[in-house]
Structure 1
Amino acid sequence: MTSELLIQPQWRLIDQSSLGPQFDALQSFAIDDTLCTSVGKKESLPTIRSWVHHQTIVLGIQDARLPYLEQGVSFLREQGFRAIVRNSGGLAVVLDEGVLNLSLIFPDTDKGINIDRGYDAMWMLIKEVFQSYDVKIEAKEIVGSYCPGSYDLSIQNKKFAGISQRRVRGGVAVQIYLCVSGSGAKRAQLIKEFYSLALQGEQTKFTYPTIVPETMASLTELVGDDITVASVMLSLYQTLQKFGSSLTPSALNEQEGLLFNQNLQRMYDRNEKALGEFYK
């Protein structure tokens, strides 16, 4: 059964999956907040945005409170990764050229889109996108993964994706990161070492995950096929058209551009406060 949230007559499509290494992840979170506002005010169609960032570790708010954060971030930089802090919950995740991010941005309804309904819509979309593969995609917490949550997506108990939500001014953004290609365990090992250095065995009020790298894998590893970001995007378009939706490619308009600049400055300020010299 397909979520009614996915059955839109028309989707606005913003594809930022091939902008390259200069595309800053701080921009992505500012863009989604901007689109939430536009969609929430009914000044924009429901929107799907795709995005890829190179060599970036996205930290959650709790990660910014790690007792030895500087040592952890220094390690990430030595490995060629930039660390940023997002403006929402969740914990550290790895973004690179083999990780595709999707945002579904809806207007909240009069009755309200409850949290599970938003998560279910993304889960159902991913199942449809990959229905040609003979695999069962489950939504449940995978203990031992990074950024664990009740809507981790997995195949045979190996996590390949995580879903989050953000609500801004009447708009709901449901976001997913999909480990499309590369080594899921290698990404998890990087986050495991980050936490080891940033915690150094100290007891904290917040419980950070104990990462077991073997609990994570990419879709390419799980299905035994050479899946790419481009092939997933093609399947996504075909799936939406199968739902009867028309797709309207778009960029931010002038009014959205002004709001984006304000939101991006907030992200810069947040990261400067959280990371100091490491935010650049």
Structure 2
Amino acid sequence: MGNYNESGVNYPVYPSSVPGIGFIIKHSIVNPASATVPGGSTISFTPTPSQMSFNSYIAGKLIKTGDIGNVNVSVISLSVAYTLTYTGRFPAEISTASSGGTGTASGNYTIQNVSCSVNTSSLQIALAGVAPTDLPSLNSTAKPTPFNLGLTCPSSTSMAIYMTLTDNSNPGNTGNLLSLSPGSSASGVNLQILRNSGTPTLVNFGPDSSVAGNLNQLLMATGATGSQSFPFLVRYIRTGTLTGGSVNGLATFTMSYQ
């Protein structure tokens, strides 16, 4: 079912008993040493020679993997069995200790298909003209133009908002150069989009998907309610020998509410 990235660690996502809800397994070693072991159906850990004993814990986290209807459930079954294997501390040791099991997430869950509404579903951004002197060398940039994406979220439910920007002319693009759309006549130049919250940072494009953990998905807000506004910039970047003409690019944005 894909992967979910959290703090730089990719976790495999497994299906649960409720359509649209998956889960990950997280495993940490604590006391006295601390190590985070990526989760999965098989988890291995080798203590260091200084570790005479240690404690560990297993945690599951529910992940939205698709459309969820409005349902009430008391138990969500976690269908994947896991096995933990601890290997001897020294090369001469061959002993291992294993444990495993399956689980359920018990409680009274009210699952609601809640989303925000996009204030402007389509934006046309007029870029200022650019001259060769504005882009004197390869990778030089010029004429950043600001724009905002606005949402209105329910006031009764707070949520985390994620966004993926997709290169419409090249949906497989996962870099930070927006392809020129058909009809553009200039060459040697591309466009870049930057998130403009504090220090502007380049946006990498990703697949057109709202699945949690989608590649290059951006966390825009946590605990969001009411009106939300997300500032961005679009700018020129020189990528080759310049020839004059028109420059047009088209990107789509996909929201994910988690």
* Shorter-normalised TM range: under 0.3
Structure (1 or 2) with the larger CA radius of gyration = 2
TM-score by length of 2: 0.24
Structure of higher RCO (CA pairs closer than 8 Å, 6+ residues apart):
1
- The structure richer in strand per residue is 2
TM-score by length of 1: 0.23
